[in-house]
Structure 1
Amino acid sequence: MISTSGLIKKYGRTLALQGLDINVPEGAVYGFIGRNGAGKTTTLRILAGLLIPDAGRAEVAGRDVLRDPRGVREVVGYMPDFFGVYDDLRVGEYLLFYAAAYGIRGATAQKLRDDLLELVELGHKRDAFVDTLSRGMQQRLCLARSLIHDPKVLLLDEPASGLDPLARVEMREILRELCRLGKTIIISSHILSELADLCTHVGMISEGRLLRQGPLNEMLAGDRVRKFILRSNGPARAAVEVIEGWPGAAVLNAADEQVEFRMSGDAAEVAGLLKGIIGAGAEVVHFAQTEQSLEDTFIQLAREVQEQ
């Protein structure tokens, strides 16, 4: 549904995108992960037809963003990280205004307004002025605005930015409903724990380059990095010394009787490390692998790039 090939974008001397290649299957919820300044917003603006790349290609639903920008805008709903609302309009008027911009008027526009407000749980605010809405409500209204022309693809740039915990939960439930409706969604975010609960696919970007992408379960099941917790009967100094000297292992946190560490390698290497720890005199009472997170995978990949 979405693909880019060799995408390059420069801002003066700053290279924002360095040959970016991403692929998003139809119906996927694609988590676009990266630090601030990694190139996420630039990519989404190019896909929305709002920014022209310096080189490379990008297609959305089979439409080229350079050759058919109008066609791209017909199939894309874009929700920027910062957006403006018209404070002197009521919520319902706000949506009718954007419906008219897409040529939707009359009874059709009114029904669409009511359906979208129901979807984002703002039906009770239809006659309220936009500037009286909370931050979370304004975010949901902006999402409704991006859906006004029933796009196949949603590009959401930090949709949970600035929201309180309850508002984030509400936004997540709305996005799940959109998934059930068959929308293809890209979500740019640095709140990785929330993406893990929502996304089917993930792409990780650093300094304008794609680190890795694929189905979420494959990303989390990879053996690039795994985390372990070890607890001992007494001080864990001996275990720490062995781990620090073991190839591919690194201590993350160490307390008096507990060590959290990461390591790469297969089961035999893990068993070898444990044998070495016991051989060094540590009285191990607990040793377990913890669940790998998106944060673990992204941090490891980013470190590998920095070390290159």
Structure 2
Amino acid sequence: MIETIGLTKKYGSFYALQDLNLTVEDGSVFGFVGANGAGKSTTFSILSTLLQPTAGDAFVNGMSVIHNPHEVRKQIGYMPDFFGVYDQLKANEYLDFYGASYGLKPKEREVLIPKLLELVNLEGKRYEYVDLLSRGMKQRLCLARALIHDPKILILDEPASGLDPRARIEMRDILKELKAMGKTILISSHILPELAEMCDNIGVIDSGRLIAQGSVAHIQAQLQSERVVRVKLAEGMAAASSFFENDPFITQITEKPESNLIEFLYRGSEEDQVLLLRKAVSQGLPILSFSEGETDLEDVFMAITKGAEAK
């Protein structure tokens, strides 16, 4: 549905984007993560036909953003990271204006606008002036604006930026509903855990280069050399610590006597973990639970970008 081939944007000697090769499958949610200034908005501006690349090309539903920009615009709904609203318009008037701009007839707009407001949980704000809406409500209204012409593809640049936790949850739930409707969604953020909750795949961009791409689990497996393992015991903390100290894959053992818990970093494979647990049980250790701790995705992101800087 979306494909970039050698996409590059250069300003003088500075590369805002360099040789980006990216594929987003039909009906999927693809998260684009990177620090501020990494190249996310540049990519989205090119895909939305607002910026011409220096080299390479991008295709939206098979159409080139360079050679068929008008056709591409019919396929996409674009929500920029900074957007303007017409403060003197009410919410329904705001959507009516954009619907008319896309050539929708008055009768079509009359039927469509209430449905869009309901989709983004703003049906009760239909007659409110836009400047009286909260930031979260304005974000959702602009999402409705991006949907006014029923695009197949949504390009959302930092849609949850500046939102409080409740508003973030509301935005996430709306995006899940849009995915269920068959929309292809390309969404950016500088907050990796935020994207991990809703995306099928993610791409990590740093200094204009795509440095990792795949599912969250796949990227973690590629980049995380150590796992945190937690072992809860019925008793025998000292004996258990002594046992785990002898394993060549284990480092940084931490005892938590108050909860009969031992934590350690583990460098072995999943198969090695299975063998370790079997051996521990055969040695008579009274293990109540043996589990891998959740990975801090922000730490993974820092490890990825640190590695890229070292190259």
Asked whether 1:289 is paired with 2:308, we answer no
| 2:10 alignment partner in structure 1 | 10
Aligned-partner Cα distance in 2 for 1:31–1:300: 18
Mapped contact 1:225–1:296 kept (Cα < 8 A): no
> 1:225 deviation in Å?
3.1
Aligned-partner Cα distance in 2 for 1:179–1:150: 13
Q: Could you tell which deviates more after superposition, 290-299 or 35-44? A: 290-299
The within-5 A match list for 1:84-95 is: 84-95=84-95
- Cα gap change, 1:270 to 1:134, in 2 (>3 Å): same
| 1:145 alignment partner in structure 2 | 145
| 1:168 alignment partner in structure 2 | 168
| 2:285 alignment partner in structure 1 | none
Aligned-partner Cα distance in 1 for 2:116–2:48: 21
- Cα gap change, 1:261 to 1:13, in 2 (>3 Å): farther
| 2:281 alignment partner in structure 1 | none
Asked whether 1:228 is paired with 2:231, we answer no
Q: Secondary structure at the match of 2:103?
A: coil
Amino acid in structure 2 at the alignment position of 1:210:
L
Mapped contact 2:223–2:300 kept (Cα < 8 A): no
> 1:287 deviation in Å?
7.6
Aligned-partner Cα distance in 2 for 1:261–1:57: 47
Percent identical pairs in the alignment equals 49
The within-5 A match list for 1:48-59 is: 48-59=48-59
Amino acid in structure 2 at the alignment position of 1:305:
A
| 1:194 alignment partner in structure 2 | 194
> 1:61 deviation in Å?
0.7
| 2:31 alignment partner in structure 1 | 31
| 2:67 alignment partner in structure 1 | 67
| 1:305 alignment partner in structure 2 | 308
Aligned-partner Cα distance in 1 for 2:76–2:226: 38
Aligned-partner Cα distance in 1 for 2:268–2:151: 44
TM-score by length of 1: 0.83
> 1:32 deviation in Å?
0.5
Asked whether 1:206 is paired with 2:233, we answer no
> 1:303 deviation in Å?
2.1
| 1:107 alignment partner in structure 2 | 107
Mapped contact 1:38–1:208 kept (Cα < 8 A): yes
Mapped contact 1:5–1:58 kept (Cα < 8 A): yes
Cα RMSD over matched residues?
3.4
Amino acid in structure 2 at the alignment position of 1:163:
L
Q: Secondary structure at the match of 2:302?
A: helix
The within-5 A match list for 1:125-144 is: 125-144=125-144
> 1:15 deviation in Å?
1.1
Aligned-partner Cα distance in 1 for 2:93–2:297: 41
Paired residues in the alignment total 298
> 1:304 deviation in Å?
1.7
Amino acid in structure 2 at the alignment position of 1:14:
F
Aligned-partner Cα distance in 2 for 1:97–1:39: 31
> 1:89 deviation in Å?
0.5
Aligned-partner Cα distance in 2 for 1:61–1:158: 23
Cα deviations by residue, 1:59-78 (Å, 9 ceiling, x for unpaired) = 11111000001111100111
Amino acid in structure 2 at the alignment position of 1:193:
P
Q: Which runs of 5 or more residues in structure 1 are unaligned? A: 275-284
Mapped contact 2:3–2:60 kept (Cα < 8 A): yes
| 1:282 alignment partner in structure 2 | none
Aligned-partner Cα distance in 1 for 2:216–2:12: 35
> 1:307 deviation in Å?
2.1
TM-score by length of 2: 0.82
Cα deviations by residue, 1:11-47 (Å, 9 ceiling, x for unpaired) = 3332111111111000110010111111001101110
Q: Secondary structure at the match of 2:309?
A: helix
Q: Which runs of 5 or more residues in structure 2 are unaligned? A: 278-287
Q: Secondary structure at the match of 1:22?
A: strand
Cα deviations by residue, 1:105-134 (Å, 9 ceiling, x for unpaired) = 211011111110010011111111000000
| 1:280 alignment partner in structure 2 | none
> 1:306 deviation in Å?
1.9
- Cα gap change, 1:53 to 1:130, in 2 (>3 Å): same
Mapped contact 1:228–1:287 kept (Cα < 8 A): no
